[in-house]
Structure 1
Amino acid sequence: MIDETRHTHRVTATDDALALIAEIRRDHPDILIHQSGGCCDGSSPMCYPAGEFRIGESDVLLGWIGPVPVYIGGRQYAAWKHTQLILDAVPGRGGMFSLDNGRERRFLVRSRLLSQA
């Protein structure tokens, strides 16, 4: 696993995403978020119990949303390394294996370019 947390705010969350994280953590206190690379549920951010998802050698730790680590696959990071990921929550069903599934809200990732300052 590669740690990119030393760089400026690579990941942040909206108030709606923070509320959904808090709801999920009431049922599953120790979770992580992984930005999916396009398999099965497209490119959705997926939320898993921390002990049930295996972080790969090429996965990149983007940062933390409170106590929740946020990862992205290495290839996807290479394409998005100049952006800040903004975790949001919108109406809909979550990914098939994601803890947001069945809550009638799902995570969605937005992005913006990081400043070069």
Structure 2
Amino acid sequence: MAPSESVLEAAAVLPGEDFSRVALTGSAVRLLQKLWAGHGPLMFHQSGGCCDGSSPMCYPAGEFITAEADVLLGVFDLPGCGPLEFWMSRGQFAYWKHTRLTVDVVAGRGSGFSVEAPEGKRFLIRSELLGFPG
């Protein structure tokens, strides 16, 4: 992510937390707005799988069924669109709970079912450790 690129922060949703755990780069926001226009409301799910299973997958909202095995990390107010949830598998969250995630876009096509694949782009996660006092 370019240091000067704008970032959209998700609203904090985990109990007891007042900080965002996930953000979108400006490139991700623009691609999501385009995808929203074609697919309607969207959602992200980050699994703990291998290969593209470890990439954030974007689906039409409700197409990926979440349950107790998943954690809602944040909700974006996507400009001009509406709420976009970011989910992560509970097992993956156990590994990444000390990490802040930023969803970015790169050229190339992933092999998953994410809705951006036909655009010749794919979402990816950039991460940084959260600064906890202590």
What TM-score do the two structures reach when normalised by structure 1? 0.89
**Structure with more relative contact order (C-alpha pairs < 8 Å, separation 6 or more):** 1
Unaligned segments of structure 1, at least 5 residues: none
Relative distance call for 1:95 and 1:34 in structure 2 (3 A) is farther
Residue type of the alignment partner of 2:92: Q
CA distance in 2, matches of 1:35, 1:49: 14
Unaligned segments of structure 2, at least 5 residues: 1-12, 78-82
Contact persistence 1:5–1:61 (CA under 8 A): no
CA distance in 2, matches of 1:20, 1:59: 25
Following superposition, the deviation at residue 29 of structure 1 comes to 1.9
Residue type of the alignment partner of 2:109: R
Q: Which residue does the alignment assign to 2:99?
A: 83
CA distance in 1, matches of 2:51, 2:126: 19
- Once the two structures are superposed, residues 42-87 of structure 1 have per-residue CA deviations (whole angstroms, 9 ceiling, x without a partner) of 3110001112110021200000222110000001001000111100
Segment drifting more, 68-77 vs 4-13:
4-13
Q: Which residue does the alignment assign to 2:43?
A: 32
Relative distance call for 1:17 and 1:58 in structure 2 (3 A) is same
Following superposition, the deviation at residue 31 of structure 1 comes to 0.9
Residue type of the alignment partner of 1:84: R
Residue type of the alignment partner of 2:57: M
Q: Which residue does the alignment assign to 1:53?
A: 64
1:1-117 matches, cutoff 5 A: 4=14, 7=17, 8-39=19-50, 41-66=52-77, 67-116=83-132
Q: Which runs of 4+ in 1 moved over 6 A?
A: none
> Helix, strand or coil for the counterpart of 2:132?
coil
Percent identity over the alignment is 47
- Root-mean-square deviation (CA, aligned residues, Å) is 1.7
Relative distance call for 1:53 and 1:92 in structure 2 (3 A) is same
Give the paired residue count. 115
Contact persistence 2:73–2:86 (CA under 8 A): yes
Structure number, greater radius of gyration: 2
